[in-house]
Amino acid sequence: MASLAIVSPAPLHAVTALAFPSGRAPARHLQAMLLQSVRSETMAFVTAAGEVVMVVGLWPLAPLHEGERLLELWLLIEPPAVPHLPALRRLARLMLARIAQSGPVRIRALVREGHAPGARMCRLIGMSFVGAADGCECWEWSA
């Protein structure tokens, strides 16, 4: 298995390539993805061959409680990431630990209901299922 490197911020071309593999997207979807990329802390997970297998972003949300830091995790992952799942899991957990060093934080991820790969990735990085609404499962991690 090749080693992985983290590139931060994630290159916009990598984000759009993973988000829109066909190369086509409605303008409003492209605008939303670019806005999230620019305003989020983003990381691209890259193989030694230069292939981006996963992009992660942390979008700041308005906290529900005073003094709380609340972030929404979004990720784009490609099938070639499968052989790298142990390394991705380790790097994602290290990323969460680094974020927690600057104070208490709650990180939320929304996954389409029934989307097994998204739910699996949330479980792998240590998130807990907290409920479902409006066709999405809500997963959280806090420290």
Average pLDDT of the chain? 86
Taking the CA atoms of the chain, what radius of gyration do you get in angstroms?
Answer: 15
Mind listing the pLDDT tens digit for each residue in 66-103?
Answer: 778 899 988 888 788 888 888 888 888 888 888 899 88
Q: What is the pLDDT of residue 78?
A: 79
Distances in Å between the alpha carbon of 95 and those of 65, 84, 88, 125, 126? 24, 16, 10, 10, 12
User: What residues pair up with 42 in beta bridges, in sequence order?
Assistant: 57
Give the residue from 142, 99, 140 showing the smallest Cα distance to 122. Answer: 140
Which residues in the chain land under pLDDT 50? 1
- Residue extents of the structural domains in the chain: 4-142
Q: Phi/psi of residue 38, each to 5°? A: -75, -35
- Please give the biggest Cα pair distance in the chain: 45
Task: Name the DSSP class of 23.
Answer: S
User: How far apart, in Å, do the first and last CA atoms of the chain sit?
Assistant: 31
**Residue 37 CA neighbour count, 13 Å, CB half:** 21
User: What's the pTM?
Assistant: 0.76
| The CATH fold of domain 4-142 | Aminopeptidase (3.40.630)
Q: Tell which phi-psi region holds residue 126, choosing left (phi > 0), alpha (psi between -120 and 50) or beta.
A: left
